[in-house]
Every structure is written in C-alpha cells, then in structure tokens.
Structure 1
Amino acid sequence: MKLYPLSFTPILKERIWGGTKLQTVLHKSSLSKNMGESWELSAVSDDISVVNNGAAKGKTLTELIDLFPEELLGEKVLLKFGKQFPLLFKFIDAKEDLSIQVHPNDQLAQARHNSFGKTEMWYIMQADENARLIVGFNKESTQTDYLSHLQTNSLTELLKEYPVQTGDVFFLETGTIHAIGAGILLAEIQQTSDITYRLYDWGRVDDKGVSRELHTDLALEAINYNTTKSKITYDNVIENKSVTVVDSVYFKTNYLQLSTSYSWIKKEDAFTVFMCVEGKCTLTYEGELFSLVKGQTILIPASITHFLLEGSATLLEISI
C-alpha cells in the first residue's frame, strides 16, 4: 500500500464544561449537550486515532507507523521520537470556564508519568461576546503568593486575562497557568500528553455533587511563577501564502489564508498536518481529490512531496 493524505475518525470527549458547538459549528456527530473535545489526531494510550478514508481505512495511527515508520513520520521525526507520534490535535468547545490548570515540562512529566510534557498552542475559531482566556500571572509572583491566594479563593487576582476574538493565537509553554474561558471554540496543537494538574475548579461539582480532584501539591514544582508572553501577534498574512505564526522546538505552525490555489511543496523531512478552521477546500494528490472543510483535520505523510490546494479556507499547517 502506498500512503496518501489520511483523515481519521474524531474521538469525542464529554466534559463537565462542554457544549454543543462541536456539533452545530464543526458538524461532529453527537447528541451530547456537554461535548467538550474532539481529538482529531491522537496517539495517546487508549485513544489511538483510526483512519476513515482510503485503503488504510480501519487501521490505527500506530499500526500505520509500525508498517511505514519513515514514510509516515519522516526520518527526522523517527530519529528524534522513534515510533512515538509526538503531537496531539484537538478542537475544544468551552461552554463554561475550564479549570485553572498547568502542565509539567518534559523532565518532570518523564520522571513522574513516563510521558512527554505538554507545550501547546491555541487558535481561536469563535468567541462569544466578552469571552476571555486566563494565561499566566499578571505580575512576578512566588510560590508563597500563589498558595496564599489559592487558600483564600482569590487566585484569579494574580492571573492575567485576555479578551479574545477569532484569529487570536496563544502559545503556552509548560508551566504556564491557564484556563479557557466560557464561550470559546478553538483549535489546539500540543505535545502527545494527557498530563494536567488542576489547580482551581470554580467550586464546581458534577451531577452527583462531587467536585473534581485538584492537584495542588503536584503543581507546585511545575508552575512558572514569572510573567509570560503567550499571545502571538502576526500581521504579515498574504493570501495563498503559508506564513509562520509559531516556531518552537516541539512544532511549527503556519497560517494559510487560501482564496484560490496553493501549490504545496514539502519543506521538512517530517509529516505535516492541516487543520481547517474556516471555509472549505480540496486537496489534489496524484489525480485524487480529498476534501477538507471547517472542523476537519488531515495528515500528510512525510513521503508526499507535493499536492495542490484549491478553494476558500483558513488552514493551520503544522509540522515538526
């Protein structure tokens, strides 16, 4: 079998803070009124994505990596990560505020959980009026400051809020305290990790009256108590040209505003992922047409060197 552009069945996750935008805006198939996350491409244990198109339909992402390690991942990725798929791609709908949380870095996550850390980025797809994110401290702080405010339920007084709108980008290094606020639909790109330390959950309980576990002690060593610059400014967008918005050691994300056509040529010896965050387009590869619409994600194996994109869409292009 020869590899081709691969799409996967979304893995849908109910969350206490979730809503219905994944269904109504992104057309995910679910009747739940609390659907918080759509895992678009995942190699997290027990949540392995399954191909839903072409000759590989029904195979898992990890099965394909075993069969075609270099062709799918690329030699550079294979040398660095082995057969581990290093990134996780999601769409998230926050009907209510998420918990205030933090993610450990690679060293801490490896020592405690045998896992990658969780560096991540957000692209805001839609935001209700007055929607906001919480990202980092609003002034240089200490562990003592943090614990004092946590104990008096005044943690938010230490944290920075950002009003958001469609197109805003945030890059969150590990250790950055954060929370997605109510009324936000976003695309998330992150390291392959499901390690989250929950710090504060707004006094919320589930339908059985039970509050969710907090991870106060675990978080203390993970938190960066300094201020951070997480919001990314990009104003050099040119239609039908791929423009870099995030370039980190973990992943690179380009923004592509497609209005007519774009001839994609392989730049790195690595796989590439496209997330469609607005509009729709087609991808033509070796005479075959693949569709990509808002809320869909497609994996381009490293063995593919060129193809044509046509249509009117906003795309995030992610590579290692």
Structure 2
Amino acid sequence: MTLYPLQFQPLFNYRLWGGEKLKTELGKDYSDNNIGESWEISDVDANETKVLEGDLKGFSLKQLIKQFKGEFLGQSVYDTFGDAFPLLIKFIDANTPLSVQVHPNNDVAKTRHNSFGKNEMWFVMQAEKNAELIIGFEEKITPSQLETHLKNNTILNVLHKEQVTKGDAFYIPTGRIHAIGGGVMLAEIQQTSNITYRVYDYNRVDKTTGQKRDLHIEQAKEVLDFEVYKTYKTNYTKTPNSSNKLIHSPYFKSNFLKVEGVLEKDYSKLDSFVIYMCVDGDVELTWNDKIYSLKKGETLLLPASIKNISLSSTSSELLEVYL
C-alpha cells in the first residue's frame, strides 16, 4: 500500500454548550443534539479518527505511523514523537459560552496525566453580532484574589473580553485563561491532549447528567499565567495564493492560504505532514492526476512523502498546518 492525500471520518462530540452550526453551516452528518465539536484528525486515546476512503480506509493514525513512519509524519517529526501523532484538529460550535478554563504545559501534563500539554489556536469562521471570546486577564490579580472572585461570581469582571468577527485568529499558550463565547464557530488547532482545568462554569447543570461539571481550581492556580498583555489577537496578511504566516509556535505552524485560480505547492523542503482545513469556499487538490475535493468544514492530510500538489478554486480559504 502507498500513501495518498487522506481524509478522516470526523468524531462528533456532545457538549452542553454545543449548537447546530456544524450541521447547518458545515454540512456535518449527525443526528444528535448539542454537538459542540467535530474532531477532524485525532489520536486521542479512545477517540481515534479513521481514514475515510481508499486503500487505507479504516486505518487510525497510530496504524498509519506504525506502517509508514517518517514517510507519513516526516522523519524529523517521527524522530521526535515516535508513534504519537502530535496534533488534534477540530471545528467548534459554541451556542452558549464554554467554561472559563486553562491548560497545563508539557511538563505538568506529562507528570499528572501522561499527556502532551495543550497549546492551541483559534481561527474564527463565523460569529454572531457582538459575539466575544475570553482570553487572558484584563487586570492583574493574585491567586487569592482569583479565589475571591470565583466565590463571589465576579470572575468575569477581571477577564479580557474581545468581540470577534470572521477571520480573527488567536494563540492560546498553556497557562492562559480563556473561553469561547456563545455564537462563535471556529477552527481549532492544538497539541494532542484532552486535558482541561475548568475555573468557572456559570453554575450550569449538564442535562445529560443532572450534575454541575467538575471544576479544577487548585490545579488551575498552579499553571495560570496571571500577567496582563497588551494584545491577544494575531495580525496577519491575506495575500492571495501565498502562505501568509498566521501562528507559528514550537508546537505547530499555521498559515492562511487564500486560493484564487490555480496554485502549485512544493513541499520538497518541508520534513512534515501538512494539514489543510477549509474555512471558506471549496477547493480541488490534484495529486498524481487524481482530484480530491475539499469544501468548507472539511480537512485533508498530506503525508510527508507527498511533495507536489496543485490547488484550484475560484475563491477559497485554507489553514495550512504543519510541524
């Protein structure tokens, strides 16, 4: 068997804050209510996505890595991560706000959870009028003041809120307090981790359990970055048919790629797999004389062994992701 451009069967996850946009806006096929997350490419234990079509249909990421190693991941990526796929790729629909939360870094996550840390980024695909995100603190507080605000239900008063529109992008390093607000649909790129420390959850009860969700205040205090920063949003250019630098971190690199007409891509100098997330429009990818169609809300992975492809679209927007 040989490698080819791969699409995976998404996993749809119930969330008490989930809505219907993954179905109505992105055309996802599911019947459950309150689906908040579509896990597009996942190597999280018990939540592993499988190849959708072709000779490798049904293969998980671990099976692909075991069989193809550096040919699939890129040799440098394989040398670093071995059989573990380093990224988790999602689309998220927040009908109501997510919990206010924070993620641990690699060292803490490894020690406590035998997991990667969770550095992540958001790319806003759609936002209702006045929809906002919470990201970072608006004013400097201490851990004891944090506890007082939580006890008094005033924590939202000291958090930085940012109204968002389509195309806004944010990097959320580990330690940064954050929450997606209601009315926001976005693409999320993160390390492979499912570790979240909830700080505040609006005293909500989950209708599926009849219980409030657990909070993790003590763990959160140990990893929170209490600094206040001048800006949280990432500025970037949108030059057509060019890989515009979006967010480059030690954990992943992302570019904004607007395709108009035909674009030839050459990855011969890149020792990594490449993931395309289509965040608007639709595009055709040609490799070895075969056409792969990608529309808004779909994701495709190019194994590292594929170096030359062609993209064609009247107008589409992609996130280009690699290590």
- Regarding TM over 0.5, the answer is yes
**Cα drift, residue 57 of structure 1:** 0.8
- Equivalent positions of 1:123-138 (< 5 A) are 123-138=123-138
* 2:317 maps to amino acid: T
Displacement after TM superposition at 1:141 (Å): 2.2
2:249 matched to which residue of 1? 248
Say whether 1:263 aligns with 2:264: yes
**How far did 1:276 drift?**
0.2
**1:230, CA displacement in angstroms?**
2.6
Greater displacement, 189-198 / 78-87: 78-87
Task: Report what 2:282 is aligned to.
Answer: 280
AA aligned opposite 1:314: E
Once the two structures are TM-superposed, the CA of residue 32 in structure 1 deviates from its matched residue by 2.2
What amino acid is aligned across from residue 230 of structure 1 in structure 2? Y
Unaligned segments of structure 1, at least 5 residues: none
1:50 is matched with 50
Alignment-derived partner of residue 170 in structure 1: 170
In structure 1, what residue type is equivalent to 2:282?
Answer: K
Offset at residue 227 of structure 1 (A): 1.6
Describe the superposition over 1:258-304 as per-residue Cα deviations: whole angstroms up to 9, x where unpaired: 11111111041010100000000100001011001000000000000
Please report the TM-score for the alignment, with normalisation by the length of structure 1. 0.98
Deviation at 1:152, TM superposition (A): 0.8
Among 305, 313, 316, the alignment partner of 1:313 is 316
Counterpart of 1:256 in 2: which secondary structure?
strand
1:120, 1:173 within 8 Å by CA — same for their partners in 2?
Answer: yes
CA–CA distance in structure 1, aligned partners of residues 169 and 131 of structure 2 = 14
Contact 1:20–1:32 (Cα < 8 Å) also in 2 = no
Measure how far apart 1:140 and its partner are: 2.2
Q: How does 1:14-93 map to 2 (within 5 A)?
A: 14-93=14-93
Superimposed CA distance per residue, residues 1-54 of structure 1 (whole angstroms, 9 cap, x where no aligned partner): 110100000000011000000000111111222010000000000011100011
Whole-Å Cα distance in 2 between the matches of residues 180 and 103 of structure 1?
Answer: 14
* C-alpha distance in 1 between matches for 2:42 and 2:222: 27
Q: Distance in 2 between matches of 1:256 and 1:187?
A: 14
For 2:275 and 2:206, locate their aligned partners in 1 and report how far apart those are by CA, in whole Å: 35
CA distance in 2: counterparts of 1:211 and 1:274, whole angstroms: 37
- Compute the displacement of 1:83 (Å): 1.6
Q: Report the TM-score when normalising by structure 2.
A: 0.97
Instruction: State the Cα RMSD in Å.
Output: 0.9
**Distance between the aligned counterparts of 2:159 and 2:262, measured in 1?**
43
Secondary structure of the corresponding residue to residue 318 of structure 1: strand
Aligned partner of 2:287: which letter?
Answer: Y
1:132 is displaced (CA, Å) by 0.2
Deviations 1:74-94 (A, max 9, x none): 011011111210000000000
Name the aligned partner's letter for residue 190 of structure 1.
Q
- How far apart, in 2, do the equivalents of 1:141 and 1:72 lie? 46
Match of 2:221 in 1: 220
Cα deviations across residues 149-171 of structure 1 (Å, max 9, x unaligned)? 11111001110000000000000
Structure 2: how far apart are the matches of 1:130 and 1:18?
A: 18
Task: Give CA-to-partner distance per residue, 1:208-258, whole Å, 9 cap, x none.
Answer: 531111111111101111124431011x22111111111110000000011
> Using the alignment, how far apart are the partners of 1:80 and 1:209 within structure 2?
43
**Aligned residue pairs, count:** 319
Q: Helix, strand or coil for the counterpart of 1:231? A: coil
| Identity within the alignment, % | 46
Superposition deviation, residue 193 in structure 1: 0.2
CA distance in structure 2 between the aligned counterparts of 1:181 and 1:106, rounded to whole angstroms = 26
